[in-house]
Amino acid sequence: MGFGTSLLIAIGLAMDAFAVSIGAGTGGQVNDLRSKLRLAFHFGLFQTGMTLIGWLAGTTVQRWISGIDHWVAFGLLAYVGVNMIRSGLGKSGADKRSNPSKGVTMVFLSVATSIDALAVGISLAMMSLPIMFPSLVIGLVTFGLSIFGLLAGGKLGEKLGKRMEILGGVILIVIGLRVLLGDLFF
């Protein structure tokens, strides 16, 4: 598979992580460089890993995963999105909000945004294509777009405050619904 094709696949796969990064950046909890790098790194790592796992699993696991992958992605994104909306509707900045660049929230977001990479890995295996180069491109592009999304989300959050956190939560839920409805009806 050539670089152009790998890049186009990587950009398509990274869009969920990019949108989630914008939402996470608006909340104000991911405000230092270390947190931004940690979240972007995990998004890229999970995209790369899920592509590799999908390729390794090939057609063996596809029949088991394909029935529930959209539900898992929707559930994880909806959970984090609802928490962001609740936090955005809260009274002051003193409320307890979980940092999306740490712990369980980071893992939920990383898994939810990389489930489609699992399907791509399975597809590449079924076409007998090599996996190392495409999976590395996917991870690097996801990392770069996630950093950009976190920076852009941070600027929007500074200007628009809690309204952007609510919008970020809505975006996560909409992404989850898109994944769910796309797999159920298309």
Instruction: Look at 7 and 88; give whichever has higher pLDDT.
Output: 7
Q: Tell me: the pLDDT tens digits for 160-181? A: 766 766 777 787 788 778 878 8
CB atoms within 10 A of CB 34: 9
185: left (phi over 0), alpha (psi -120 to 50) or beta: alpha
The H or E element that residue 102 is part of is none
Cβ–Cβ under 8 Å, residues 118 and 69: yes
Query: What is the arithmetic mean of pLDDT over 66-75?
Result: 75
pTM of the entire structure? 0.74
- 8 A C-beta contact, residue 34 and residue 4: no
Q: What is the pLDDT of residue 82?
A: 84
First to last CA, the chain: 26
